[in-house]
Structure formats: structure tokens, C-alpha cells
Amino acid sequence: MRFEVILSVVMGAWTALVLLVVALCAAAKRSDEAMDTALASATPAERETEVTRPPSSERPLRTLSLASAAALLDVNPETLLAWEARYGFPTSSPSEPRYNQSEVLALRDGLDEGLSIASAVSHARECKRRRRAVTIEVLDHRDGGLAS
């Protein structure tokens, strides 16, 4: 009789554990499908943007030195400092001239398209704004993060 009770309890616990694992796998699959749907519905420009931390974290994923950023833009470092002073973009960290790589690349893309520096800065700021909007949308899990 004792053995039957112990066996029943063990089998019940095993069944509960298996059901929990199956439920977690199903939730993970729904989450993956929701992410795939969100990425598929994004515009091509949004798909090409890198995923960054939420805007509350001001630290970019990759930063460039003044010389590296200037080299990517094919300008003198003094020119880059002048652009930052005049247009406020690209932005550097307060302690030293280190630039967010995505800002520098967006600015370079605008210049490569033949835009003036003022237009290229506007273009780069718009790309940054769109990237932040997509990042907030993708990282917002207040509803539990699962698609229904």
C-alpha cells in the first residue's frame, strides 16, 4: 500500500513537470512567432537597423574614437568636431570624443547619397528616431511579451 502511494505521488509530480515543460515550450514558440511577425512586418529600413538597448540606457553598443569616426566619414577630425558643434550631430560622450557608430554610419550614408551636411544630419536623425521607435516596440513586454 505504501509503495502504491509513493508511486502515485511520483507519477503525479512527473506528469506535472512534463506539462510545465510543454507549456513553457509553447509559450517560447509563440514568443518566437510574434518576433518573426514583427520583423516581417517592419519596413526594409527598419529591418536594416541594429537592435540596441532601450532609450533609457544611453550607452551605445559600439563607440568610435574621433579619429575612427572621422576616417569613416572621410573628413578631418577637426571637421567632425565642427559639425558636432554646429549641428549637434553626431553626438559624442561628455568625457571624451567617442561617437555612436550607428550615428556615424547613418551620417555617412546620407553623405554618400550626395546630401549636404545639413540634409545628411537630418536624414541621420530621422534614422535614429525610427530605430528607437522600433526598438521600443520590440522591447516593450508590458503585456507579458507573448502573442495571442
Residues 133 and 97 in one domain: yes
Q: Which amino acid is at 80?
A: L
**What CATH number is given to the structural domain containing 87?**
1.10.1660.10
Residues 89 and 128 in one domain: yes
Residue 34 falls inside a structural domain:
yes
Residue 65 falls inside a structural domain:
yes
Model confidence at 22: pLDDT above 60 = yes
Residues 17 and 51 in one domain: no
Instruction: Note the pLDDT of residue 145.
Output: 53
Model confidence at 144: pLDDT above 60 = no
Residues 74 and 24 in one domain: no
Residue 148 falls inside a structural domain:
no
Residue 144 falls inside a structural domain:
no
Residue 121 falls inside a structural domain:
yes
For the chain, the domain total comes to: 2
How far apart CA 38 and CA 12 sit, in angstroms, is 39
Mean pLDDT of the chain: 79
Residues 36 and 65 in one domain: no
For residues 131 and 102, is the Cβ–Cβ distance under 8 A?
yes
Residue 10 falls inside a structural domain:
yes
Query: Per-residue pLDDT tens for 81-133?
Result: 999 889 988 888 778 778 888 889 989 998 999 999 999 888 888 888 887 76
Which of the two residues, 134 and 78, has the higher pLDDT score? 78
Which of the two residues, 148 and 69, has the higher pLDDT score? 69
Residues 54 and 6 in one domain: no
Q: Is the pTM above the cut of 0.85? A: no
DSSP string over 74-114: TS-HHHHHHHHHHH--S-B-SSS-EEEHHHHHHHHHHHHTT
Residues 51 and 97 in one domain: yes
How far apart CA 141 and CA 67 sit, in angstroms, is 39
Residue 93 falls inside a structural domain:
yes
Q: Which domain holds residue 65?
A: 47-139
